[in-house]
């Protein structure tokens, strides 16, 4: 459609420059530099969240775990750490926990609770015990007493073994048969001339003589077998006597040394019971110490270093420490933050070693997890990381529900490992868990996991912003000063603090609030300190803050500049002068990560007679989101309820975002689409020097939208690149005026009359500003004023309805074809 020449109508008055940017006055801060300010709490405006965290930290009932939710950069981790550490300092150090050998069932190690600080004492005592016995038991078995008793036993059993054989030999000799000892055992041979008969002599005997000798030898052989069958029993009795001798001798020294260890822990019955099992096992396995003594120690380290590291055969007497607290240092409950909450790092793991090509393990290879280290205190976890690890969330819930820590292998659960593993005793758990995550994840957990609300009864919801008052302005200045001091930054001038607070207002998207994303403000401060160092100044100035903000914007603005270049070169068609029918400049916000910027988009509308349908081309090709489609349906409802209500809606209209090749969502362009439709229906051109943003309801009221600052700045940059004419500006909802925190160059342009921001409340006000024509209110007679926009729109819709009626009547008047012709 051809563009009409712009007329010399007076444009509507824009907002005062002071309303476009409510800046902080450095003179009102009351200081020259932040060096004059005292310290202030780093967490402000989060009283609700702080109360929830303090409740979770102090309440003693179970299941009052807490989920800390909010946006990144709110200082959630620092706040949680400080508050919980303060509560933990008032609690005593919890018990130590160790695993020891279960001598009755080695695959089921026993968990043992010890007083705080006792685990290393017990471990050291057991190492000294084994080391002492490794020296004393071999010495005892080399003593004269042991040798004498052993010889006596050997002589006794030797005699008991030889006497029956001697008696048999004497009896056989009387019958002319000799008992011979050979390497293969005993054998019998006939005696001839006082000597055992030789084979050739035996073969030379008469058959009757050989038969008599064979019968006699066979009879004596049976008797010899009866004599020799007592040998294994005697051997068993011998071994038992030797073992008894060993146990008797070992018991004296073992009992003495074990008693010395037990005396150190006489108040702990559980340790006493364990040491009694150790004593019995050491007495029964005294040979282990003899084997150890026989082995040489040819290594690069002297014995004094090696002796406290138990040899593998003594692992059965080791103490595997799961968690221990040094009472000389750890005088508070633990606060553990696990950055890698995998299943193994969370609940512990059982390691394996390779022995002769197979995997083996024992209780000394049980390794603790974060739950063990935090037991009796607090465990802080990142919710997103926890939920991304296989089986970690289920393991945490299971531990909290059972109030115990059970160690399981991921390989076993998945059936990937078939080797025999351990079944350690569960360790009782007394713990408060703090999950830190965003609001969306919290909502999903509440909806999808019915156990979540039972286990995490508290939530600490961090505020996104802080009301902007004189008091909070001074408080924010003290927070900034405290952070500069904490990070060893240069002092900030009052102007620098004011510039930073203006940036905080900008980030909040509200001129009456400060953002509480202190992380973003800290980044600006650190970068500004760098620029202050480069310029050699002793303080951070407002110029340094402005440079830091500008450089951050420049680093992220490549896409914005490329799009702006495309508009300037008219690759993307945007008009900033003149007027056109059915065409308006809409405004949108594009986000690239943490960086958002505004850009204008041409919206066009075309109308004709139809069946009352407004076609959203974006929706038809699946580029329009549900909120955008909702906005189009709303404006259709507005048209149907305001104009030509006594005739059928006979409109066929199409709406499109020109040169839009990505998805479109949100209803902030619904007012711009409606303006384009009204222009197309009325035939009145829209000023292309004005851009529009705002949503609309069915009553024709313009509603607030988000990203108003970015949208205004995006159109201003386009106009500035084309040349500011003084007839350019942006229409925004009146409800968005208090959200304005525009760049200084836009404020100066508005002050010079080169650009304006126009606040509107209704569609009628907007169409008047865009066309320079009166919108018109319906009179008592039911008609709009002649020549008004609304009158022209209604006349066009009535004309469509009349044309449609005539068309339908003409169709009915046509002769009907006869059947078969």
* Residues sharing a CB contact under 8 Å with residue 496, sequence separation 6 or more, in sequence order: 528, 539, 540, 541, 542, 544, 545
Catalytic: which of 307, 711, 727, 754? 711
From residue 664, how far is each of 574, 588, 703, 785 by CA, in Å? 18, 9, 19, 37
CA distance 580 to 598: 23
CA distance 797 to 812: 23
Is a pLDDT exceeding 90 seen at residue 433?
Answer: yes
CA distance 67 to 452: 10
pLDDT of residue 641: 80
Class of domain 572-735+757-805: alpha beta
pLDDT tens per residue across span 626-664: 655 676 777 777 888 888 777 877 788 888 888 876 656
**pLDDT tier at 743 (50, 70, 90 boundaries)?**
very high
Q: If you average pLDDT over residues 32-37, what whole number do you get? A: 90
Is a pLDDT exceeding 60 seen at residue 620?
Answer: no
Catalytic: which of 95, 324, 668, 671? 668
Is a pLDDT exceeding 90 seen at residue 358?
Answer: no
pLDDT tens per residue across span 763-819: 999 999 999 999 999 888 788 999 899 999 989 888 888 888 888 777 777 776 555
Q: Is 539 a catalytic residue?
A: no
pLDDT of residue 148: 81
- Residue of 735 and 218 predicted with greater confidence: 735
Closest CA to 352 of 426, 417, 416: 417
Give yes or no for a contact between 470 and 416, defined as CB atoms under 8 angstroms apart: no
CA distance 720 to 754: 10
**DSSP string of 552-602, one letter each residue:** HHHHH-HHHHHHHHHHHTTSS----SSEETTEEEEEEEEEETTEEEEEEEE
pLDDT of residue 330: 62
pLDDT tens per residue across span 122-150: 999 999 999 888 888 888 777 777 778 77
Give yes or no for a contact between 651 and 639, defined as CB atoms under 8 angstroms apart: yes
pLDDT tens per residue across span 515-545: 998 889 999 999 999 999 999 999 999 999 9
CA distance 430 to 449: 23
| SS3 category, 306 | helix
Is a pLDDT exceeding 60 seen at residue 623?
Answer: no
Q: If you average pLDDT over residues 606-611, what whole number do you get? A: 84
User: Same CATH fold, 332-461 and 25-45+464-556?
Assistant: no
**pLDDT tier at 1 (50, 70, 90 boundaries)?**
very low
φ, ψ for residue 659 (rounded to 5)?
A: 55, 40
* Residues sharing a CB contact under 8 Å with residue 279, sequence separation 6 or more, in sequence order: 254, 255, 258
CA distance 114 to 94: 9
Q: Which of 11-20, 182-191, 357-366, 739-748 has the lowest mean pLDDT?
A: 182-191
Q: If you average pLDDT over residues 694-714, what whole number do you get? A: 92
**pLDDT tier at 497 (50, 70, 90 boundaries)?**
very high
pLDDT of residue 816: 64
Q: Is 668 a catalytic residue?
A: yes
CA atoms within 13 A on the CB side of 92: 6
pLDDT of residue 619: 57
Is a pLDDT exceeding 80 seen at residue 40?
Answer: no
CA distance 363 to 274: 15
The order of strands in the sheet holding 96-100 is 110-114, 96-100, 320-323
**CATH architecture of the domain covering 125-292:** Up-down Bundle (1.20)
pLDDT of residue 151: 76
C-alpha triplet 88, 323, 362: angle, nearest 5° = 160
Q: If you average pLDDT over residues 714-724, what whole number do you get? A: 93
pLDDT tens per residue across span 276-300: 999 988 888 877 877 655 554 443 3
From residue 544, how far is each of 26, 536, 736 by CA, in Å? 15, 11, 30
Q: If you average pLDDT over residues 553-558, what whole number do you get? A: 92
CA distance 786 to 447: 57
Is a pLDDT exceeding 70 seen at residue 5?
Answer: no
CA atoms within 13 A on the CB side of 714: 29
pLDDT of residue 643: 84
Q: If you average pLDDT over residues 711-738, what whole number do you get? A: 94
Q: What is the mean pLDDT of the chain?
A: 84
Range ranked top by mean pLDDT from 143-147, 150-154, 495-499: 495-499
CA distance 681 to 701: 20
Residue with token string 């010399």:
8
CA distance 217 to 201: 16
pLDDT tens per residue across span 97-114: 999 999 999 889 999 999
| Domains in the chain: boundaries | 25-45+464-556, 125-292, 332-461, 572-735+757-805
Class of domain 25-45+464-556: mainly alpha
CA distance 567 to 575: 9
**CATH architecture of the domain covering 332-461:** 3-Layer(aba) Sandwich (3.40)
pLDDT of residue 669: 81
Is a pLDDT exceeding 90 seen at residue 440?
Answer: yes
DSSP state of 732: E
- Residue of 141 and 428 predicted with greater confidence: 428
pLDDT tens per residue across span 194-253: 677 777 666 667 777 777 777 777 777 777 677 666 667 777 777 777 777 777 777 888
What H or E segment, with its residue span, contains residue 654?
A: strand 651-657
Q: If you average pLDDT over residues 349-362, what whole number do you get? A: 81
């Amino acid at each position: 459609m051809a563009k009409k020449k712009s007329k010399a109508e007076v444009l509507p008055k824009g907002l005062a420059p002071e309303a476009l940017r409510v800046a902080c006055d450095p003179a009102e801060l009351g200081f020259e530099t932040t060096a004059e300010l005292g310290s202030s709490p780093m967490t402000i405006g989060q009283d609700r969240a702080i109360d929830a965290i303090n409740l979770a930290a102090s309440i003693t009932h179970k299941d009052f775990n807490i989920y800390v939710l909010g946006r990144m950069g709110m200082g959630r981790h620092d706040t949680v750490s400080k508050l919980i550490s303060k509560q933990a300092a008032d609690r005593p150090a919890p018990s130590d926990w160790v695993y020891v050998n279960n001598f009755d069932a080695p695959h089921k190690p026993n968990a043992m609770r010890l007083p705080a600080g006792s685990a290393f004492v017990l471990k050291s005592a057991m190492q000294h015990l084994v080391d002492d016995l490794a020296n004393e038991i071999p010495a005892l078995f080399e003593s004269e007493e042991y040798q004498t008793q052993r010889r006596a036993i050997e002589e006794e059993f030797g005699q008991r073994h030889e006497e029956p054989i001697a008696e048999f030999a004497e009896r056989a000799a009387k019958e002319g048969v000799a008992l011979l000892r050979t390497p293969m055992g005993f054998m019998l041979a006939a005696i001839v001339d006082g000597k055992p008969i030789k084979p050739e002599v035996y073969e030379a005997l008469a058959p009757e003589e050989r038969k008599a000798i064979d019968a006699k030898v066979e009879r004596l052989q049976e008797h010899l077998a009866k004599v020799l069958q007592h040998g294994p029993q005697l051997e068993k009795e011998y071994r038992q006597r030797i073992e008894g001798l060993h146990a008797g001798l070992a018991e004296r020294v073992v009992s003495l040394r074990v008693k010395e260890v037990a005396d150190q822990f006489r108040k702990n019955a559980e340790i006493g019971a364990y040491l009694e099992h150790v004593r019995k096992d050491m007495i029964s396995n005294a040979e282990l110490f003899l084997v150890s003594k026989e082995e040489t120690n040819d290594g690069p380290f002297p014995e004094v270093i090696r002796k406290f590291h138990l040899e593998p055969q003594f692992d059965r007497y080791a103490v595997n420490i799961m968690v221990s607290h040094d009472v000389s240092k750890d005088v508070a409950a633990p606060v553990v933050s696990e950055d890698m909450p995998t299943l193994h790092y969370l609940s512990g793991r059982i390691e394996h070693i390779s022995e002769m090509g197979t995997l083996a393990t024992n209780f000394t290879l049980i390794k603790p997890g974060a739950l063990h280290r935090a037991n009796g205190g607090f465990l802080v976890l990142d919710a997103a990381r926890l939920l991304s690890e296989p089986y970690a969330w289920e393991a945490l819930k299971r531990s909290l529900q059972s109030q115990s820590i059970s160690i399981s292998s991921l390989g076993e659960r998945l059936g990937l490992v078939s080797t025999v593993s351990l079944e350690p005793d569960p360790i009782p758990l007394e713990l408060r868990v703090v999950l830190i995550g965003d609001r969306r994840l919290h909502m999903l957990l509440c909806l999808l996991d019915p156990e979540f609300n039972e286990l995490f009864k508290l939530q600490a919801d961090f505020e996104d912003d802080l009301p902007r008052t004189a008091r909070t302005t001074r408080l924010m200045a003290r927070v900034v000063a405290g952070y500069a001091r904490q990070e060893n930054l240069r002092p900030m001038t009052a102007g620098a603090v004011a510039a930073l607070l203006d940036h905080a207002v900008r980030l909040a998207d509200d001129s009456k609030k400060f953002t509480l994303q202190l992380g973003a403000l800290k980044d600006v401060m650190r970068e500004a300190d760098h620029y202050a160092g480069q310029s050699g100044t002793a303080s951070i100035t407002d110029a340094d803050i402005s440079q830091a903000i500008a450089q951050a914007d420049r680093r992220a603005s490549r896409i914005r500049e490329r799009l702006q270049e495309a508009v300037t070169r008219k690759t993307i068609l945007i008009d900033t002068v003149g007027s056109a029918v059915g065409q308006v400049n809409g405004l949108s916000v594009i986000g690239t990560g943490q960086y958002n910027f505004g850009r204008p988009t041409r919206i066009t509308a075309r109308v004709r007679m139809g069946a009352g349908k407004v076609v959203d081309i974006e929706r038809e090709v699946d580029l329009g989101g549900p909120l955008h489609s909702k906005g189009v349906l709303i404006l259709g409802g507005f048209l149907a309820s305001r104009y030509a209500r006594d005739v059928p809606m006979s409109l066929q209209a199409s709406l499109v975002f020109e040169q839009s090749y990505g998805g479109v969502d949100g209803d902030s362009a619904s007012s711009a689409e409606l303006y384009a439709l009204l222009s197309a229906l009325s035939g009145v051109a829209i000023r292309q020097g004005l851009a529009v943003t705002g949503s609309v309801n069915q009553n024709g009221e313009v509603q607030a939208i988000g990203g108003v600052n970015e949208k205004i700045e995006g159109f201003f940059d386009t106009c500035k690149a084309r040349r500011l004419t003084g007839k350019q500006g942006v229409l925004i909802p009146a409800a968005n005026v208090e959200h304005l925190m525009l760049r200084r160059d836009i404020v100066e342009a508005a002050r010079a009359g080169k650009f304006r921001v126009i606040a509107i409340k209704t569609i009628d006000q907007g169409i008047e500003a865009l066309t320079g024509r009166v919108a018109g209110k319906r009179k008592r007679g039911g008609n709009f004023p002649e020549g008004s926009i609304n009158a022209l729109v209604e006349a066009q819709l009535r004309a469509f309805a009349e044309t449609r009626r005539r068309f339908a009547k003409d169709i009915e008047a046509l002769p009907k074809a006869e059947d078969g012709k």
